[in-house]
Amino acid sequence: MRVLLTTVGSRGDVEPVVGLALALRELGAEVRVCAPPDEDFAALMARVGVPLVPLGPTVRSVVGGSQPPTMEDAFRLARELVAARFDTLGAAAEGCDVLLAAGLMPAGARDVAEKLGIRYVFACFQVFGLPSRHFPPGTWPGKRSPGDGTGKRVLWEQDAQRLNALYGEALNSHRSAIGLPPVDSVREHVFTDRPWLAADETLCPSQGMTDLDVVQTGAWILPDDRPLPDGLAAFLDAGAPPVYVGFGSMAALAPRDIGRVAIEAVRAQGRRVVLARGWAGLVPIDGADDCFVVGEVNQQALFGRVAAVVHHGGAGTTTTAARAGVPQVVLPQIADQPYWAARVAELGIGSAHDGPTPTFDSLSAALTPALTPATRARAKSVAGTIRTDGATVAAKLLLDGAGRDRPSRSA
């Protein structure tokens, strides 16, 4: 069977898809991935031998500047991505049996599958963004919703209208060009009524959380057996477990002075620091030997050797830390990150920082309970419930055509 996977977004949107690609290949499928041509992503796929078909602009060119993208940038990117999907996916999907789309609103993917007469699956990595009676929608560029007092049903209707304004014209224009009728709701069209949820059930339960009939496969985890760099390994061996601080693909959105604030707060706890440079380009605040800077590194190996993980609350980092049984301190910035912060706190496996911008005092207040023996014990306990077979579950569903059936807990 030939499978085409596509995603757009940060590392947290790409790595799970590569994990699924690897699981599919291990089951005998021919698979390729259409994703942004960032060097980080190309290196990730090269590491496991999965072909990358470049799709759209690099993510760094969009979010890696000193200022967040403007509303005009967002509308322009939406049009560009719709066009790129019709073009790139249209060619890459020839001869495929199924097309699975994830990441930033993949408008255009289902339409290519429809034109070619192949199966289409939409997958997401969290319930955030799926219509729900329990929580309001996130923020898309466009007309703002009224403040407090507006019911959730109305807010979700307005969310659908914003998505239509963002993607609808471009989507229907391209559909018309290939002989397909227009769609009324971009969101309903892209999501379908049975989206897949590639998230762990303990960390992100879907039962009753969305109005859609979700197929939850578990998180798609890409195994990583790379050794830690010699310098990092020596640093870890030289003392008590340090605290990891990293904000992944957050660049312009990373809190101002987060490096300085985090290092000072961690030092005040009597701990050393492993500082992840990330897209924000974090650097040490002095030449002291209690701070070690890392670039791209095997987090699966590293997190098991640290005292706590301070991060932005991406789905991938949250899941990796939870698997490692290490306490977390989450400083959520955008999108689904507040959701993951809340889950970490609810599960008792760490702290959720109040707001996106920490001070020394506020981060210290979040670190103190996270570094207690009780929180570490709770994190170790929850780690035992995190499933690691989600990518295999999803791969089997794709290959046997059983996407309409829910995977059993023993799948």
- Domain segments of the chain as ranges: 2-221+388-400, 230-383
CATH of 2-221+388-400, one of 3.90.1310.10, 3.40.50.2000, 3.40.50.720, 3.40.50.300: 3.40.50.2000
Report the Cα 156 to chain-centroid distance in Å: 22
* Three-state SS at 309: strand
Instruction: Give the span between the Cα atoms of 349 and 380, in whole angstroms.
Output: 8
The amino acid present at 97, given as its one-letter code, is D
- The 10 Å Cβ neighbour count of residue 379 is 24
Q: Which long-range contacts (CB under 8 A, 24 or more apart) does 45-52 make?
A: 45/18, 45/21, 48/18, 48/21, 48/22, 48/222, 50/18, 50/21, 50/22, 50/25
Report angle CA 229, 231, 235 to the nearest 5 degrees.
Answer: 115
Averaged confidence pLDDT in the chain: 91
What is the pLDDT averaged over residues 325-331? 97
Report angle CA 103, 126, 205 to the nearest 5 degrees.
Answer: 160
Q: Which long-range contacts (CB under 8 A, 24 or more apart) does 235-240 make?
A: 235/272, 235/274, 235/292, 236/274, 236/305, 239/272, 240/271, 240/272, 240/307
pLDDT given at position 152: 85
290-313 as b/e: b if 16+ CB within 10 A: bbbebeebbbbbbbebbbbbbbbb
User: What does the DSSP 8-state code read for residue 352?
Assistant: E
What is the pLDDT averaged over residues 389-399? 97
Strand duo 328-330 + 308-311: pairing: parallel
Would you say residue 373 has pLDDT above 60?
A: yes
Which residues, 6 or more positions from 252, have their beta carbon under 8 angstroms from its beta carbon?
A: 63, 64, 65, 66, 67, 68
Tens of pLDDT, residue by residue over 341-351, are 999 999 999 99
Which pLDDT band, with edges at 50, 70 and 90, does 406 fall under? very low
Which residues, 6 or more positions from 132, have their beta carbon under 8 angstroms from its beta carbon?
A: 152, 156, 209, 210, 211
What is the pLDDT averaged over residues 262-271? 97
Instruction: Give the span between the Cα atoms of 358 and 333, in whole angstroms.
Output: 11
What is the pLDDT averaged over residues 244-272? 86
Nearest Cα to Cα of residue 304 among 244, 374, 389: 244
Tens of pLDDT, residue by residue over 138-192, are 766 555 555 555 788 898 899 899 999 999 999 999 999 999 999 999 999 999 9
Q: Measure Cα distances from 246 to 161, 207, 262, 312 in Å.
A: 35, 31, 10, 7
Tens of pLDDT, residue by residue over 59-101, are 988 876 667 778 888 899 999 999 999 999 999 999 999 999 9
Instruction: Give the span between the Cα atoms of 100 and 110, in whole angstroms.
Output: 9
The two three-digit tokens of residue 221, written as one number: 């985890």
Which pLDDT band, with edges at 50, 70 and 90, does 409 fall under? very low
Which residue blocks in 95-168 are alpha helix, DSSP H?
Answer: 109-116, 152-163
- The 10 Å Cβ neighbour count of residue 376 is 18
Percentage, residues of the chain above pLDDT 70: 92
Confidence (pTM): 0.93
* Three-state SS at 70: coil
Which residues, 6 or more positions from 367, have their beta carbon under 8 angstroms from its beta carbon?
A: 243, 265, 266, 269, 308, 310, 329, 351
CB half-sphere exposure, 381, CA atoms < 13 A: 10
| Element housing 26 (H / E) | helix 11-26
| Element housing 273 (H / E) | strand 273-276
The CATH fold assigned to 230-383 is Rossmann fold (3.40.50)
Asked if domains 2-221+388-400 and 230-383 share a fold, the reply is: yes
